[in-house]
Amino acid sequence: MHATLSMLLTQGGGHEAGGGGTFEPFFPGLVILLPLLGFVINGVLALQHARASANAVRVGGELELDGPRGRPSTHTLPSWVGPGVVLLAFLLVLVNFLRMLGAELHDPVVVSYWTWMATSTFTVDAALQLDALSMVMALVVTGVSFLIHVFSVGYMKDDPGYPRYFSYLNLFVFFMLLLVMASSYGLMFVGWEGVGLCSYLLIGYWFSDREKADAGKKAFIVNRIGDFGFLVAMFMLFVTFGTLDFAAIAHDAPETLIYGGGLVTAITLFFFLGATGKSAQIPLYIWLPDAMAGPTPVSALIHAATMVTAGVYMVARSSVLFAMSPVGSATVATVGVLTALLAATIALKQNDIKKVLAYSTVSQLGYMFVGVGVGAYAAGIFHLATHAFFKALLFLGSGAVIHAIHEALHHTHSHVDAQDMRNMGGLKQFMPITWVVMWVATLTIAGIWPFAGFFSKDEIIWQIAAFGGAEHAPFPGLYTFIWVLALVTAMLTAFYMTRLMVMTFHGTNRTGPHEARHLHEVSPVMWVPLATLAVLSVFGGWVNVPVAVQESFLGGMGALPMTDWLHHFLEPVTATAHTIHHDNLGELSHHAPWGGGEVAWALISTVVALGIVLASIRVVGGWKVKPAAEDAEPTGFAKVLSNKWYVDEIYDAVVVQPLLRLSRFCWKIVDAGIIDGFVNGVGYLARGFGWFGSLFQTGTVNTYAFILTLGVLVILGAVIF
Amino acid sequence: MITPAMVLSAILFVVGTFGVLVRRNAIIMFLCIELQLNAVNLAFIALSRIWGIDGQVFVFFVMTVAAAEAAVGLAIIISIFRHYETVNVDNFNLLKW
């Protein structure tokens, strides 16, 4: 163990695969170890706190957080340790990133620490892969995580489980970094499962509430179905390639596999099944809205910015495989756009502020899958990054709102729902900073120029058109369909996000006059991360603007500091996939299905989105929104939407209930009936024989003597005759 | 000379066997077992005319064992009698399942 640790701490403990430039990794192992260290420290504090509160209960009291001697160290240390380790990890990633920028890196650098498992034919190393993709992901993960950790210091400060919360959060960052920096599917799967575990722990963080514990279970069980797909795909990869290393598979795939063959299609479809579970796509998206039971910063970190994008990352990481399977890629894109549309329609009629954002996340994840499904891997990752910024901002903003309302309700001992937008309204006068940053995020997600979401979403929509119009594009009609649905979804997004803003921040205040007096802006520890994310949401998109857009007036005729850097930076990762696309599909189209080039459609989409936002402000502003307690039940189609298309009910009837019935059959009939019956039958049989034998044991000597004589006679008879 | 001795031995053995089977008095049953043993002894002696000295040697073994058996058996019967004040074996049927 000691040797292992020292190896991790020495710079670049292993060999470098591939002779990439002069890039020298800078303590990559430490990036992963730091959050793990945070987990250990906070975990110890959490256990200390648990013991202290158990002792307090035993002597008949309750542990007061604010006693005469101030907060115990179990509730002050995590505020520094939790965000601290993530900040250090972020800085380390930043150093690596800057070094990579300086070097012309073509082949990924693999830093191998030790052999995790080895059999005669199968070896998995505990190795980290440092390339453009893992660096971008690690930057986003650590950067956004740090801001959310800081926000959590304010949001969770009065929670009794404070150290436990931070230990889970640090553990999550550890597994997430393992996921994005692993150099093989095997090690990636460790991170994949680990983030699922942390997701479960944090959704059910307030586990004494039955509903929240159930939501955690739902997330875990639904994810299991996806993990099954991931595992099967890994088995198939191993049988085909004899290895699970990314670099080896990407290198061998074009020769080993047949373009469009059944094997590669099966592999990609199973991988995508895994992605639908983790990234909440049809048919496995149902766990994500329920996951909002967790604390709001958790929703921002795990269920919006990082973990749920793991599926997109996985598809981008397997870009060579997906590029070789037109059917697999088309499935990814189709499922993505259908999910985007379905979730957007549901979001139209949700009243819980976090539920709206949850469905919005599902919808945006659908966009990312459309991006990677049409071969625009850089665009998918780009949208992943910008989405991490603006969705984290939206969730943290909603967290600030919920926090403020909750505190106000606490003052008046009211028990109305602090997350229901019908109980909000007019908050902008109480929370001006939150109001501004939330509008920034809303304009971003709605795709308004020049915010980040405009560039990333527009890039994806454009790439659908370009891919569908390629010379030998498979299923060209399908891509036109996807393109139209993507545009429709973008418009729905603009509407439901504006509805959220107007219902929450505008109009008259519906919290009640007594509560309104206690409403106030959140503390700086909460709004500073919000402001930082807002800046990123505005300018984050400028790192990947196509040259044509830069030079149009959308880029200020080239005057604004925009660049298509990200695209080039990711080129080493996506190059093989692009070559495969190019060889098989020919040139990509330069105009949309109904004419018009990239710039024209970018302009159209932002004008339409802006129009919808402005119109919805007027329309939603004109609604007479009543507090939740007085509001009537929706009717007609609105009822279908507010009940989420009854998907949960359908799943319950089609999957859950039959499964329960089958389980009950297995339990009552098969197990208790047949198997137990057999085992008990054997017992009864033995007892029956025993009872029969005991009949001869009368205890009377004469009987024994008689039987003995009889036996002797029988044997004698047998001998004689 | 052998045939009458064998016939007498057979008669004694059958009498002993029937005695064990039909009588209920433990002492009588015990005597009947002795009768069986001695019937066998008689057969041994008689047959030793044909088969040599082995049969006679065996009789000594049987007599030794019978003496030991009588000592143990009578001791058991006496202790049972002290407990139950009867030696009727119909009363002794507790030793079963």
Chain A, chain B: beta-carbon pairs less than 8 Å apart:
31
Q: pLDDT at position A14, please?
A: 41
Higher model confidence: residue A304 or residue A589?
A: A304
CA distance B26 to chain A (A): 9
Chain B residues close to A697, C-beta within 8 Å = 96-97
CA distance A719 to chain B (A): 18
Under the banding of pLDDT at 50, 70 and 90, the label for residue A20 is very low
Q: Which of A698, A699, A709 sits opposite B21 (nearest CB)?
A: A709
In angstroms, rounded to a whole number, what is the distance separating the alpha carbons of residues A51 and A48? 5
Q: Do A699 and B29 touch (CB under 8 A)?
A: no
Any A CB within 8 A of B92 CB: yes
Averaged pLDDT, A292-319: 93
Q: Do A701 and B89 touch (CB under 8 A)?
A: yes
> Does residue A7 carry a pLDDT above 90?
no
Q: By the 8 A CB rule, do A392 and A306 touch?
A: no
Higher model confidence: residue A663 or residue B92?
A: A663
Averaged pLDDT, A552-560: 79
Chain A residues close to B90, C-beta within 8 Å = 700
CA distance A704 to chain B (A): 9
Backbone φ and ψ of A588, nearest 5°: -75, 155
Q: pLDDT at position A16, please?
A: 43
> Does residue A368 carry a pLDDT above 70?
yes
In this predicted structure, which of A65-69, A126-130, A258-262, A534-538 has the lowest mean pLDDT?
A65-69
Q: Do A699 and B92 touch (CB under 8 A)?
A: yes
Nearest to A504, CA basis, from A673, A617, A384: A617
In angstroms, rounded to a whole number, what is the distance separating the alpha carbons of residues A305 and A399? 15
Nearest to A616, CA basis, from A454, A442, A457: A442
Nearest to A322, CA basis, from A365, A359, A363, A377: A377
Chain B stretch 38-77, residues whose beta carbon is closer than 8 A to a beta carbon of chain A = none
Averaged pLDDT, A291-299: 93
Averaged pLDDT, A137-144: 95
CA distance B7 to chain A (A): 18
Q: Do B96 and A702 touch (CB under 8 A)?
A: no
What H or E segment, with its residue span, contains residue A175?
A: helix A162-181
Q: Do A700 and B17 touch (CB under 8 A)?
A: no
Q: By the 8 A CB rule, do A277 and A248 touch?
A: no
Q: By the 8 A CB rule, do A234 and A189 touch?
A: yes
Chain A residues close to B92, C-beta within 8 Å = 699-701
Q: Which of A694, A705, A709 sits opposite B97 (nearest CB)?
A: A694
> Does residue A165 carry a pLDDT above 60?
yes
Chain A residues close to B14, C-beta within 8 Å = none
> Does residue A106 carry a pLDDT above 90?
no
Residue A85 token pair: 């380790």
CA distance A705 to chain B (A): 6
Q: Do B97 and A697 touch (CB under 8 A)?
A: yes
User: In chain B, whose CA is at the least distance from the CA of A693?
Assistant: B97
> Does residue A9 carry a pLDDT above 50?
no
Any A CB within 8 A of B17 CB: yes
A38-41 long-range contacts (CB < 8 A, ≥24 apart) are: A38/A81, A38/A82, A38/A84, A38/A85, A38/A86, A38/A166, A38/A167, A38/A170, A38/A173, A39/A167, A39/A168, A39/A170, A39/A171, A39/A174, A41/A77, A41/A81, A41/A167
Under the banding of pLDDT at 50, 70 and 90, the label for residue A563 is confident
Chain A residues close to B93, C-beta within 8 Å = 698-700
A419-429 pLDDT, tens digit per residue, is 889 888 889 88
Q: By the 8 A CB rule, do A172 and A301 touch?
A: yes
In angstroms, rounded to a whole number, what is the distance separating the alpha carbons of residues A549 and A531? 27
Q: Which of A697, A700, A709 sits opposite B17 (nearest CB)?
A: A709
CA distance B18 to chain A (A): 9
Q: pLDDT at position A11, please?
A: 44
Q: Do A699 and B89 touch (CB under 8 A)?
A: no
Q: Do A701 and B92 touch (CB under 8 A)?
A: yes
Q: Is A306 helix (H, G, I), strand (E, B) or coil?
A: coil
User: In chain B, whose CA is at the least distance from the CA of A704?
Assistant: B21
Percent of chain A with pLDDT over 90: 63
Chain B residues close to A706, C-beta within 8 Å = 21
CA distance B56 to chain A (A): 24
Q: Which of A697, A700, A706 sits opposite B89 (nearest CB)?
A: A700
Percent of chain A with pLDDT over 70: 97
User: In chain B, whose CA is at the least distance from the CA of A709?
Assistant: B17
Q: Do B96 and A706 touch (CB under 8 A)?
A: no
ipTM over 0.85: yes
Chain A residues close to B20, C-beta within 8 Å = 702, 705, 709
CA distance A717 to chain B (A): 16
Specify burial of residue A236 (Cβ count, 10 A radius: 0-12, 13-18, 19+). Answer: middle
Q: pLDDT at position B97, please?
A: 63
Backbone φ and ψ of A53, nearest 5°: -70, -30
Under the banding of pLDDT at 50, 70 and 90, the label for residue A266 is very high
Under the banding of pLDDT at 50, 70 and 90, the label for residue A104 is confident
A685-712 pLDDT, tens digit per residue, is 999 999 998 888 888 888 888 899 999 9
- Which residues are CB-contacts of A93 (< 8 A; sequence separation ≥ 6)? A31, A135, A138, A139, A142
Averaged pLDDT, A268-273: 95
Fill in the DSSP letter of residue A623.
Answer: S
CA distance B94 to chain A (A): 6
Averaged pLDDT, A588-614: 87
Q: pLDDT at position A382, please?
A: 94
How far out from the chain centre does Cα B44 lie? 15
- Which residues are CB-contacts of A660 (< 8 A; sequence separation ≥ 6)? none
> Does residue A182 carry a pLDDT above 80?
yes
User: In chain B, whose CA is at the least distance from the CA of A694?
Assistant: B97
User: In chain A, whose CA is at the least distance from the CA of B24?
Assistant: A702
Q: Which of A694, A700, A706 sits opposite B93 (nearest CB)?
A: A700
> Does residue A13 carry a pLDDT above 50?
no
Chain A residues close to B18, C-beta within 8 Å = none
In angstroms, rounded to a whole number, what is the distance separating the alpha carbons of residues A345 and A356? 10
- Give the highest mean pLDDT range of A63-72, A407-416, B53-62: B53-62
Under the banding of pLDDT at 50, 70 and 90, the label for residue A1 is very low
Residue A368 token pair: 């990312």
Backbone φ and ψ of A129, nearest 5°: -105, 125
A624-643 pLDDT, tens digit per residue, is 888 887 888 888 888 888 88
Under the banding of pLDDT at 50, 70 and 90, the label for residue A6 is very low
Under the banding of pLDDT at 50, 70 and 90, the label for residue A21 is low
Q: Do B94 and A699 touch (CB under 8 A)?
A: yes
Chain A residues close to B17, C-beta within 8 Å = 709
Structural domains of chain B, ranges and CATH numbers in brackets: 2-89 (1.10.287.3510)
Any A CB within 8 A of B83 CB: no
Residues of A near B (CB-CB distance < 8 A)? 694, 697-702, 705-706, 709
Nearest to B87, CA basis, from B96, B70, B74: B74
> Does residue A85 carry a pLDDT above 80?
yes
Higher model confidence: residue A106 or residue A248?
A: A248
Q: pTM to 2 decimals?
A: 0.82
Chain B residues close to A705, C-beta within 8 Å = 20-21, 29
Residue A369 token pair: 């899958």
In angstroms, rounded to a whole number, what is the distance separating the alpha carbons of residues A568 and A574? 10
CA distance B73 to chain A (A): 14
Averaged pLDDT, A205-219: 93
- Which residues are CB-contacts of A630 (< 8 A; sequence separation ≥ 6)? none
Average pLDDT of chain A is 89
User: In chain B, whose CA is at the least distance from the CA of A699?
Assistant: B93
Chain B stretch 25-44, residues whose beta carbon is closer than 8 A to a beta carbon of chain A = 26, 29
CA atoms within 13 A on the CB side of A175: 21
Q: Do A705 and B95 touch (CB under 8 A)?
A: no
User: In chain B, whose CA is at the least distance from the CA of A695?
Assistant: B97
A308-363 pLDDT, tens digit per residue, is 999 999 999 999 999 999 999 999 999 999 999 999 999 999 999 999 999 999 99
